[in-house]
Amino acid sequence: MALGYVRPARPEDAGEIARIQLATWRVAYRRILPRHVLDNLDEAFLARRWSAAVLEPPSGAHRVLVAVEQAEQSYLVGFAASGPADAEALAPGEPADALGPEVAAVTDLLVEPRWGRRGHGSRLLAAAVDLWREDGLSRAVAWAFEGDEATRKFLTSTGWEPDGAARALDVDDMLVPQVRLHVAVPPEKVPADE
């Protein structure tokens, strides 16, 4: 396991978050999304969106976290974004109140492939869970591409399960199937009396 930590994203991290997103998508999703879509993603546009997410979140419970690898230098190697579930977390045809106010939605959880399998994803997820607890959120959902075995395997290894919901994203006239996973937010562990 690598030496690393998770911290809240800062405005100056937006460019690096966008770079990580592009690098990860272009490797992890190269057989899932059309190549020309991945090739045409605009890093500057993504950086502006991440800057807005960090500086102007929709609520105090919407957060962007970054994973940092510590070596001779420190590197941003991954990030996670989550907040209270909204319409984007719903499955097609689900009523607006289907998930409830106590549900968190993970919108992004990415670790750059060259830094994978070093504990960064687990640290990001654990930090997010701590924040969900603070916000009174008792359950979480996340959409994953059906063809993204790495993400689905990671989430299921930490207790997430498919909840039966599915959808297909229209990506430049190509339908890309997704499945929704969910997990109960475990209660905070109380230290045993000595």
What are the tens digits of pLDDT across the range 123-138? 999 999 999 999 999 9
In the structure, what pLDDT confidence band is assigned to residue 117 with cuts at 50, 70 and 90?
confident
For residue 189, pLDDT beyond 60? yes
Distance (Å, rounded) from C-alpha 83 to C-alpha 62? 4
Q: Where are the domains of the chain?
A: 4-142
Architecture per CATH, domain 4-142, reads as 3-Layer(aba) Sandwich (3.40)
Mean pLDDT for the stretch of residues 85-103 = 94
The model scores a pTM over 0.85: yes
Q: What are residue 112's phi and psi, to 5 degrees?
A: -55, 130
Distance (Å, rounded) from C-alpha 154 to C-alpha 110? 11
In the structure, what pLDDT confidence band is assigned to residue 191 with cuts at 50, 70 and 90?
low
In the structure, what pLDDT confidence band is assigned to residue 118 with cuts at 50, 70 and 90?
low
| pLDDT in the model for residue 192 | 58
Of 177, 185, 192, the C-alpha closest to 82 is: 185
- CB of 69 closer than 8 Å to CB of 118: yes
